[in-house]
Amino acid sequence: FPVAPEKEKEDMQFAKKYLENFYDFKEEKTLFKAKDLNQMSDKIREMQSFFGLEVNGELNPKTLDMMKQPRCGTPDVRS
């Protein structure tokens, strides 16, 4: 079924927090929404590659499900 808009927003927030915690994603407070989404897609690709998921930069159910697994709080990637 299509994801309800508020659920989609919620998932996006969750994913952003996850990527900040574990993949060194830094959301830039820029006006250019597109740039932000591209950077986030890059980080999603990095996370998908780490866990052996299909690497497409999309926040699909499998990727979200992996993000919601109980895990260690130490980052997977760090600067």
Partner 1 sequence: YSAFPHRPTWRKEDVTYRILNYTPDMLQADVEEAIARAFQVWSSVTPLRFTRLYGGQADIMISFAAGFHGDFYSFDGPGGTLAHAYPPGGGIGGDAHFDEDENWTKFTTYSGYNLFLVAAHELGHSLGLSHSNVFGALMYPIYMARDTRNFQLHQDDIDGIQALYGPPRESPALPTKAFPPQEPTEMAPAETPTEMSPREEPTEGTPSKPHQRPDDCDPHLSFDAITTLRGETLFFKDSYVWRKSPYFSDIEHDTIFSFWPSLIAGFDAAYEVDNKDRVLFFKDNQYWAVSGYSIESGFPKPIQNLGFPTSVRKIDAAVHDQNTKRTYFFVGNKYWSFNENTQSMERGYPRKIAADFQGISHPVDAALQKNGYFYFFHGSNQYEVDIKKKKLIRIMKSNSWFNC
Interface with partner 1 (CB under 8 A): 21-22, 50-52, 66, 68-74, 76, 78-79
CB of 30 to partner 1, least distance (A): 24
- The Cα–Cα gap between 79 and 74 comes to 13
Cβ closer to partner 1: 48 or 59? 48
CA distances from 4 to 11, 15, 30, 67 (A): 11, 16, 27, 20
Residue 9: both structure tokens together: 């927003």
Cβ closer to partner 1: 35 or 68? 68
Cβ closer to partner 1: 47 or 59? 47
